[in-house]
Amino acid sequence: MNTDSVAFRIKRKLPDGTEIAYDPKEIPYISRKDTLEFSIPNIGLNAAGDNTFTLEVNPAKSIPEMTFANNSISITEFIPLSGTLNLFPLDYGIVSETNVNLIAQIPGNPKKDRTIILQLDSTANFNSSYRKEIRITTSGLADWPLTLLSNQDSVTYYWRTKFQEPQLGETDSWTTSSFSLIPNGAKGWTQRTNDQLEENQLTNLELNSQRTEWKYLDKKLGFEVFTVGSGVDTLSYKNTQFYLNQVPQIIDNVNNANSRLCPNGSLGMVAFDQKSLTPYLSIPVPGFDILDPRACGRVPQVIQSVQNSWITTPGQTFLEQYVNGVKDGDYVVIFSVGNVTFDAWPDEAYALLKEFGANEATLRNLNTGDPYILYGQKGMAPGEAIEIIGDTNQEFPPTNKLFLLIRNWKGILLQG
């Protein structure tokens, strides 16, 4: 058994009191997901009414915990009797002739006739002058023959059905489908309109306010970096700070057991998913171990910690593993923590950071203890990243030694 895996179990209580226990499932270590999916069959069950679902994590108590009292949760959901079924044309289907039959069905095995309302329109809101309606009484199939518009090349039609008089527990909602008339077209399916496309599960896409074009969702992330060179007498590596949306991510663990300082002589590296801007560890830390040296900061840790020896010691591949673990196109923030031995780096280290857009000449000019910040993207051309180094002429706080304060990155707007 994988020591990082976790088991969970789902139980279901039907409205008539029947309890169903589904087989336990085991999931591997999760590094970047916040949602798990479990399909629950609903075929052949008398499920109409209130259904209670119970999720239990670690049901066998095989993983030691301080308490098992919070390992289960229950939720009650009302499941109505199914409504009407739209059989033909298939949803998003293509019809090639203007004469078409709309076919709907009453589900199950009804014992008496029911009346179904059917509507057809050329708009998804069913509010145009073209809208047609019919009511058909049947105990099975409802068949509505129609002649569609023939004066247009391609037209998308929307049709919907529902019971005229829903019974107790049945839904009063419409069952809606759409299809497209493409004269002499081939069999298949198409989504021609924005209304059809909006029915998809969209990820980082939306229609603009005028509903004229699709665009990526704007994602905004605020972050701030504070780092200091080793030559500043009044401050140390412990003052290094990284903020996400004004929340400090580095807290001294003397006062907070759920955080860890980033160690002296290391690079802090934070990767952001290019679509959601969710920060993540390129090299996950199993078990959320707060003391694992490969990460630092508060829980959940998002700062990968790359120590000097993991860069300069021959044969070390940690930095290479980190770079390879960042997905192409994802954003990266890198900052020095204390006494980073830049002038002892091997050529491989410079080559690896160039994958984030770093300028090799800038890196080679850094001396041990110099402060450094990079904001780049995996796959950028070398030299395209934003790099900020120390200014020996800056006197804040009053000193002629090296000091670096970066606070003006807050509110960078990332689109993608």
Quick one: 28 and 158 in the same domain?
A: no
Shared-domain flag, residues 319 and 394:
yes
- Out of 79, 101, 126, a domain closes at 79
Is residue 17's pLDDT more than 80? yes
Domain presence at residue 48: yes
With 0-12 / 13-18 / 19 or more C-beta atoms within 10 angstroms meaning exposed / middle / buried, residue 151 is exposed
Could you tell me the pTM of the whole model?
0.55
In a domain, 215, yes or no: no
What pLDDT does 255 receive?
A: 60
The per-residue pLDDT for 360 is 95
Contacts of 179 (CB under 8 A, 6+ apart): 89, 90, 91, 92, 93, 94, 95, 156, 157, 159
Of the candidates 194, 216, 225, the residue with the CA atom closest to the CA atom of residue 408? 225
Q: Buried b vs exposed e over 49-67: b needs ≥16 C-beta within 10 Å?
A: eebebebbbbbeeeeeeee
The verdict on 271 and 395 lying in the same domain is yes
Task: Answer yes or no: is 206 within a domain.
Answer: no
Number of domains into which the chain is organized: 3
Of 200, 230, 256, the one marking the end of a domain is 200
Do 269 and 328 share a domain, yes or no? yes
> Is residue 345 in some structural domain?
yes
Q: How far apart are CA 254 and CA 258, in angstroms?
A: 10
The verdict on 321 and 374 lying in the same domain is yes
Counting beta carbons within 10 angstroms of the beta carbon of residue 138, is it exposed (0 to 12), middle (13 to 18) or buried (19 or more)?
middle
The model's pLDDT over 301-344, given as tens digits with 9 standing for 90+, comes to 999 999 999 999 999 999 999 999 999 999 999 999 999 999 99
pLDDT tens across 368-395, in order?
999 999 999 999 999 999 999 876 554 4
Encoded tokens for 202: 């969209």
Is residue 134 in a domain? yes
Tell me the per-residue pLDDT of 91-134, one tens digit each, with 9 for 90 and over: 999 999 999 999 999 887 777 899 999 999 999 999 999 999 99
For residues 101 and 154, membership in a common domain is answered with: yes
Q: Is residue 320 situated within a structural domain?
A: yes
Question: How big is the chain by its Cα radius of gyration, in Å?
Answer: 30
Domain identity same for 58 and 12: yes
The dihedral sign for the CA sequence 142, 146, 148, 150: positive
- Quick check: is 208 in a domain? no
Over residues 70-98, the mean pLDDT reads 88
Q: What is the CATH number of the domain that holds 166?
A: 2.60.40
**The pLDDT of residue 57 is above 80:** yes
Q: Indicate the residue among 79, 113, 128 that finishes a domain.
A: 79
Residue 165 and residue 112 share a domain? yes
In terms of residue numbers, what domain contains 52?
6-79
Do residues 313 and 378 both lie within one domain?
yes
Whether residue 237 is contained in a domain is answered as yes
**Pair of tokens at residue 359:** 């300028």
Tell me the C-alpha distance between 232 and 350, whole Å: 26
> What is the DSSP-derived secondary structure letter of residue 365?
T
List of residues 6+ apart from 90 with CB closer than 8 A: 177, 179, 189
Say whether both 173 and 302 belong to one domain.
no
For residue 180, give the nearest of 190, 167, 169 by alpha carbon.
190
Q: What is the DSSP string of 258-295?
A: T--PPPSSEEEEEEE-TTT--EE-SS--GGG-TT-TTE
User: Is the predicted pLDDT of residue 256 greater than 70, yes or no?
Assistant: no
Res 233 pLDDT > 90: no
Alpha helices (runs of H) in 166-302, residue ranges in sequence order: 194-197
Residue 90's beta-bridge partner residues? none
Tokens 């198409």 found at: 190
| Rounded distance between C-alpha atoms, residue 9 and residue 60, angstroms | 10
List, in order, residues 6 or more apart from 408 with CB less than 8 Å away: none
Residues 320 and 277 in one domain: yes
Residues 165 and 61 in one domain: no
